[in-house]
Amino acid sequence: SNSKKAYNLSIEQTDRIFKLLDTNKVLDCKSALIVVDMQNDFIEGSLAVRNCPAHEDGSAIIPTINRLLESVPFDAVVYTADWHPADHCSFVDNVQLREIHETSKIKADNAQVMDTVVFARPDKFEQKLWPAHCVQDSHGAELHPDLKVVKDHILIRKGLDPDVDSYSAFWDNMKKSSTPLVSELAKRHITDVYICGIATDVCVEFTSMDAIEHGFRTVLIEDACCGVSEEGIKETKTKLKKAGAILVQSAEVPDLV
């Protein structure tokens, strides 16, 4: 419901404000860049994404993100990080650790990466399986060394609970708990969020949808994102546009902020 939102803007209002913004900056906007999961494992490690601008690996978007950080006067910069315990429910090698629900088509002995299993506990829930990645304090969980890390940034770690995944940097996948992200943004009077990083069709999508739900004007920087599958990226873009996000190229951002 609206009362839960940090900013009580409907999609229609958001739309109208975007149009106003295009012609003249009548509103007092404050902008944050959210850099999603630019960690070694997603770039060159166990869960390296491959659907990137110019068909390169995830490192292809690092210069684009660094350029944004250097040339655009964002009011806040957020880095998010997947930060899983070794027994996390999303790791394919951990299916044996948990009770699988009787309705699950995938059983423990045939479970593969990208399969969706149904676990029985703590409550029945569906979980897509991934290779082990971004284990707390491992090299794979560190931000890529070439990524610029600005002073006074906000770091949001997610996926710490072994029993629930967290694609979004706002809420876990079951909305059992939230990270400090919305309060950190609200504290700085942020109205607009610009989102980039990895993976377009997983954590970037979920973070963007939750940003919209919180009432932030939400801008996806297309060429500063990298995804898992081409089909998934297409679906993400359609879904985000429908929900009220605007999609831009990184070259357009300096004029918008």
Catalytic annotation, residues: 37, 158, 203
Residue 225 touches which member of Zn ion, ligand VGL, none, C-beta under 5-8 Å by kind: none
Binding to Zn ion by residue 82, rule CB under 5 A? yes
Going through the chain in order, the beta strands assigned E by DSSP cover 31-36, 76-82, 116-119, 125-128, 154-158, 192-198, 217-226, 246-248
Measured from the CB of residue 84, what is the shortest distance to Zn ion in angstroms? 6
CA distance 151 to 157: 17
**Residue 37 lies near Zn ion (rule: CB under 5 A):** no
- Of 22-30, 49-57, 74-82, 220-228, which segment contacts Zn ion by CB under 5 A? 74-82
Least CB distance from residue 203 to ligand VGL, whole Å? 3
- 240 Cβ partners below 8 Å, 6+ apart? 205, 208, 209, 212, 218, 220, 247
Query: Residue 156 or 256: which CB sits closer to ligand VGL?
Result: 156
Closer residue to Zn ion (CB): 81 or 257: 81
Q: Which is nearer to ligand VGL, 94 or 191 (CB)?
A: 94
Closest CA to 66 of 191, 250, 256, 218: 250
Paired strand residues for 247? 220
Q: To which residue do tokens 């149009």 refer?
A: 19
Smallest distance, ligand VGL to C-beta of residue 167, A: 6
Rule CB under 6 A: which residues touch ligand VGL? 37, 42, 82, 90, 130, 198-199, 202-203
Nearer to ligand VGL, 62 or 203 (CB): 203
How far apart CA 38 and CA 52 sit, in angstroms, is: 13
Partner from ligand VGL, Zn ion, none binding residue 203, C-beta < 5-8 Å depending on class: ligand VGL
Rounded Cα–Cα distance for residues 141 and 232 (Å): 24
Minimum Å gap between C-beta 226 and Zn ion is 15
Contact 161, 136 (CB under 8 A): no
**Closest CB to Zn ion belongs to which residue?**
82
Contacting positions for Zn ion (CB under 5 A): 82
